[in-house]
């Protein structure tokens, strides 16, 4: 009996709960249907959300505006709730004015609340259509200038077309806060811009929005959207980075977006143009200049095509390649006068850089940082502090047909870099070194260094550097290996009239194989154990000089010098084997001989080179002496003639 009563009680309770839930749900439904469209939260979110299936914008500020999930239970329309909504919307940096373009309507929102829904019968909207739908102060058109003071967000299947002769300038309003920025977002639709200038304007001053203002608008291709621009000037757009905001580029292709820009100039942006995991974007004859940060940013973009890219006078790098690695070629780029590097490749694997020209960028031409398996072909750097700089544990880097002119370093390989290879490249006029090697397993093949202070400098701690068929012409020193370098092999070196030392090595175990050294003060200066074989040294003042405390060996060398053939210091062991040394002083110091060696005076042609200037000097001195002697003899003769004459007598 008691159990039956308990079960009956629980059944009554369950029935009461079910009835209660039904009543609450019905009341909520009635409230939603009765609430005004301009104030109910459900209306706000249904207006802000794209049609079902629309992709999000992939934009931090607009995601909430377009993709925010409706609340499960809408609050009562109290005055407090109405005040909090717009305030919270604005505090998150979302636009205070916005129009959402749908295939069936134009939705006008103020501070996130639906203000007006204008029926729309097409999929393409232009400025004239917007002008009819928006409040008068949101869009003004006159004398070819359109001023837009509201953010525009497109949805899937819609197009915003701004082109034609009627408008030559589109001004996007902005201000001190991000809520004031009248940006354009493609959403899932398409934005077409052609034949005009797009810039920003501060309504308070009538001038472009300052570069430091958080409320500078942008042009954004959202996920699933498309941006097409032809014959454009885009100026003074893009929000700078702040403490809690990374900022936004003037023109931004977000993940999954696509499109093209042709004959477009982006000027004075925060950063100019960014491709962030976009798909198949084509950039043709695009220039990015005077940006506060980087000019062009390629961040994980896929299948992009670059042709005729110019990055000039940007505050950061001209072109920055970062983010996820991509098979997109980095090509067709010219940079000049940027505050960072002309081109910076960071944390990339398998990048391919080709046909890039850089001039006078502040930090240098090309930076390769934390990257591996990067191939650089047909790269040119002129007047750069450093032509190519590899660091932060980069590996497997190849430079092919690279040319650098002037600057301090042609190429610099930092100590954490491994497997760096330079082939068929030329470095000219470097003030410090054509190539500075600090890493391990560096290979040079067919490289030429001309008129540089030092041709190749192998820094302390570097090891296993292989220099094959290297040519060094002019400059002060050819190849210099610092102390604590190991495993240096120099094969087939050609050094032509290097002023001081063609090779100077303090790295133990250095091997010099083959090669031709002509002119200069010293052919080879060995300061540590060195092996030299089958090398020819002609017309230098000294052939081989050794101050090494360890054995230096020379085998099969041919030396014809003007002064000393082999010069060894005290306590410097030297072994000469099967070699020819022709000099005024073939050997100076203690030299051990092995095999068959030819030690003699230099050949007649070398003696002739020394003697002819001396003979000419003797002839000149003799002629000077004869001339002075003839003048002296004539003076004495005139004195004798005057002495024999009669004195003159005056009368009168």
Mean of the per-residue pLDDT values of the chain: 86
Q: Is the pLDDT of residue 21 over 60?
A: no
CB 236 within 8 A of CB 212: no
CA–CA separation, 466 and 423 (whole Å)? 12
Q: What is the pLDDT of residues 92-145, one digit of tens each?
A: 468 999 999 999 999 999 999 999 999 988 889 999 999 999 999 999 999 999
Report the range of poorest mean pLDDT among 7-16, 136-145, 191-200, 334-343: 7-16
Q: Is the pLDDT of residue 54 over 70?
A: no
- Per-position b or e across 89-128, b if 16+ CB within 10 A of its CB: bbeebbbbbbbbbbeebbbbbbbbbbbbbeebeebbbbbe
Average pLDDT over residues 272-276: 99
Q: What is the pLDDT of residues 364-396, one digit of tens each?
A: 999 999 999 999 999 999 999 999 999 999 999
CA–CA separation, 332 and 344 (whole Å)? 15
CA–CA separation, 522 and 445 (whole Å)? 24
Which pLDDT score is estimated for 615? 65
Average pLDDT over residues 5-32: 43
CA–CA separation, 300 and 395 (whole Å)? 20
Average pLDDT over residues 607-617: 60
Q: What is the DSSP letter of 56?
A: P
Q: What is the pLDDT of residues 204-245, one digit of tens each?
A: 999 999 999 999 999 999 999 999 999 999 999 999 988 777
Q: Is the pLDDT of residue 249 over 50?
A: yes
Closest CA to 40 of 113, 105, 137: 113
Which pLDDT score is estimated for 505? 99
Band of pLDDT at residue 631, cut at 50, 70 and 90: low
Q: Is the pLDDT of residue 45 over 80?
A: no
**For the chain, percent of residues with pLDDT exceeding 70:** 79
CB 548 within 8 A of CB 529: yes
Q: Is the pLDDT of residue 36 over 80?
A: no
Which pLDDT score is estimated for 562? 87
Average pLDDT over residues 187-198: 98
Which pLDDT score is estimated for 580? 98
Band of pLDDT at residue 602, cut at 50, 70 and 90: low
Q: What is the pLDDT of residues 543-566, one digit of tens each?
A: 999 999 999 999 999 999 989 999
Which pLDDT score is estimated for 12? 43
Q: Give all strands (DSSP E) within 556-600, no chain letters.
A: 558-560, 564-568, 574-577, 580-582, 585-588, 592-594, 598-600
Which pLDDT score is estimated for 635? 56
Q: What is the pLDDT of residues 459-483, one digit of tens each?
A: 999 999 999 999 999 999 999 999 9
Which pLDDT score is estimated for 644? 37
Q: Is the pLDDT of residue 432 over 90?
A: yes
Band of pLDDT at residue 633, cut at 50, 70 and 90: low
Which pLDDT score is estimated for 64? 40
Which pLDDT score is estimated for 242? 81
Which pLDDT score is estimated for 431? 98
The kind and range of the H/E element at 434 are strand 433-437
User: How is 80-146 classified by DSSP, letter by letter?
Assistant: HHHHHHHHHHHHTT--SEEEEE-SSEEEEEETTEEEEEEE--SSEEEHHHHHHHS-TTTEEEETTEE
Report the range of poorest mean pLDDT among 187-191, 338-342, 343-347, 647-651: 647-651
CA–CA separation, 211 and 419 (whole Å)? 43
Contacts of 505 (CB under 8 A, 6+ apart): 479, 480, 481, 485, 488, 524, 525, 526, 527, 528, 530
Which pLDDT score is estimated for 87? 52
Q: Is the pLDDT of residue 49 over 60?
A: no
Closest CA to 518 of 500, 538, 489: 538
Q: Is the pLDDT of residue 608 over 70?
A: no
Q: Is the pLDDT of residue 183 over 90?
A: yes
Which pLDDT score is estimated for 609? 53
Q: What is the DSSP letter of 207?
A: S
Which pLDDT score is estimated for 375? 99
CA–CA separation, 281 and 49 (whole Å)? 27
CB 218 within 8 A of CB 251: yes
Q: What is the pLDDT of residues 561-583, one digit of tens each?
A: 989 999 999 999 999 999 999 99
Which pLDDT score is estimated for 618? 67
Which pLDDT score is estimated for 220? 98
Average pLDDT over residues 580-593: 97
Q: Is the pLDDT of residue 326 over 90?
A: yes
Which pLDDT score is estimated for 624? 73
Q: Which residue has the higher pLDDT, 53 or 220?
A: 220
Average pLDDT over residues 583-612: 80
Q: Is the pLDDT of residue 67 over 80?
A: no
Q: Is the pLDDT of residue 299 over 60?
A: yes
Q: Is the pLDDT of residue 273 over 90?
A: yes
Band of pLDDT at residue 66, cut at 50, 70 and 90: very low
Q: Is the pLDDT of residue 586 over 70?
A: yes
């Amino acid at each position: 009996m008691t159990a039956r009563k308990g079960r009956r009680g629980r059944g009554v309770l369950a029935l009461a709960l079910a009835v209660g839930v039904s009543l609450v749900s019905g009341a909520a439904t009635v409230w939603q249907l009765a609430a005004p469209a301009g104030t109910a939260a459900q209306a706000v979110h249904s207006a802000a959300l794209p049609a079902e299936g629309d992709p999000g914008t992939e934009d931090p500020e607009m995601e909430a505006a377009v993709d925010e999930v409706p609340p499960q239970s809408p609050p009562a329309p109290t005055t407090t709730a109405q005040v909090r909504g717009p305030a919270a919307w604005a505090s998150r940096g979302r636009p205070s004015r916005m129009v959402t373009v749908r295939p069936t309507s134009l939705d006008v929102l103020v501070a996130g609340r639906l203000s007006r829904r204008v029926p729309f019968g097409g999929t393409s909207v232009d400025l004239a259509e917007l002008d009819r739908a928006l409040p008068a102060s949101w869009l003004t058109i006159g004398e070819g200038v359109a001023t837009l003071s509201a953010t525009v967000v497109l949805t899937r299947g819609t197009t915003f077309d701004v082109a034609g002769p009627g408008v030559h300038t589109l001004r996007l309003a902005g201000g001190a806060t991000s809520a004031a920025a009248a940006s354009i977002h493609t959403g899932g639709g398409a934005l077409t811009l052609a034949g005009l200038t797009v810039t920003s304007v501060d309504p308070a001053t009538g001038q472009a929005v300052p570069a430091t203002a958080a409320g500078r608008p942008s042009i954004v291709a959202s996920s699933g959207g498309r941006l097409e621009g032809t014959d454009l000037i885009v100026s003074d757009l893009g929000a700078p980075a702040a403490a809690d905001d990374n900022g936004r580029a003037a023109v931004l292709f977000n993940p999954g977006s696509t499109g093209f820009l042709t004959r477009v100039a982006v000027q004075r942006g925060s950063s100019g143009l960014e491709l962030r995991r976009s798909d198949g974007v084509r950039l043709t004859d695009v220039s990015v200049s005077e940006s506060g940060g980087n000019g062009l940013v390629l961040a994980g973009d896929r299948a992009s095509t670059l042709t005729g890219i110019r990055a000039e006078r940007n505050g950061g790098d001209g072109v920055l390649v970062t983010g996820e690695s991509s098979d997109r070629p980095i090509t067709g780029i010219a940079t000049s006068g940027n505050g960072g590097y002309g081109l910076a490749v960071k944390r990339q694997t398998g990048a391919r850089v080709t046909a890039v020209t850089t001039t006078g960028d502040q930090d240098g031409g090309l930076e390769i940082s934390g990257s591996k398996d990067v191939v650089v072909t047909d790269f040119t750097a002129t007047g750069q502090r450093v032509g190519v700089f590899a660091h932060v544990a980069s590996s497997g880097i190849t430079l092919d047909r690279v040319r650098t002119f002037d600057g301090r370093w042609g190429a610099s390989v930092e100590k954490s870099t491994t497997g760096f290879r330079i082939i068929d490249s030329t470095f000219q006029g470097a003030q410090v070194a054509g190539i500075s090697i600090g890493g391990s397993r560096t290979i040079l093949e067919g490289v030429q260094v001309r008129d540089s202070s030092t041709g190749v400098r192998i820094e302390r701690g570097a090891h296993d550097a292989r220099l094959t068929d290297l040519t060094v012409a002019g400059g002060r020193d050819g190849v210099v290996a610092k102390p604590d370098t190991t495993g240096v092999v120099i094969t087939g070196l050609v050094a032509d009239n290097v002023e001081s030392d063609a090779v100077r090595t303090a790295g133990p175990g250095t091997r010099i194989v083959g090669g031709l050294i002509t002119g200069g003060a010293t052919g080879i200066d060995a300061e540590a154990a060195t092996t030299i074989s089958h090398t020819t040294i002609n017309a230098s003042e000294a052939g081989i000089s050794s101050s090494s405390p360890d054995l230096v060996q020379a085998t099969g060398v041919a030396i014809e010098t003007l002064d000393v053939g082999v010069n060894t210091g005290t306590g410097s062991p030297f072994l000469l084997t099967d070699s020819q040394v022709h000099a005024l002083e073939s050997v100076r110091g203690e030299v051990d001989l092995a095999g068959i060696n030819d030690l003699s005076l230099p050949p007649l042609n070398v003696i002739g080179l020394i003697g002819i200037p001396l003979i000419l000097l003797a002839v000149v001195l003799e002629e000077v002496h004869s001339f002075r002697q003839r003048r002296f003899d004539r003076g004495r003769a005139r004195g004798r003639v005057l002495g024999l004459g009669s004195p003159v007598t005056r009368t009168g």
